[in-house]
Amino acid sequence: MRQVGSVSILDLVGPVTLGESASQMREALQKLADGGARNILVNLRDVSYLDSSALDELVTAYTALTNAGGRIKLLHPQSIVKQVLQITKLNTVFGTYEDETLALESFTAV
């Protein structure tokens, strides 16, 4: 986890699947939210795969943050992750970005 201005960035690595990796992601997102983070950027550059449990954790975080007036966006989804987002239509829910600077700026855009 790292902080850039008002945005908390969660850098994920490896496949995020049912079990420990999805639990770790959930705990990290919860820790950020409990700490007052309202703008979270999930960096997927080094994520090779997301399964349904990981997607469920992202949707849960999205719902909780949105209800609290916050936002969660995705950065650098790899091709396999993009395919999963498209198949599940979650690409229409999450803002996705290929450039970190543009992603960070999107949190301040009106």
Domains for the chain: give ranges and CATH numbers: 2-106 (3.30.750.24)
Q: How far apart are CA 31 and CA 43, in angstroms?
A: 16
74-92: per-residue pLDDT in tens? 999 999 899 999 999 999 9
Q: Which residues contact 7 (CB under 8 A, 6 or more apart)?
A: 39, 40, 41, 104, 107
The string of pLDDT tens digits covering residues 23-44 is 999 999 999 999 999 999 999 9
Indicate the pLDDT class of residue 73, thresholds 50, 70 and 90. Answer: very high
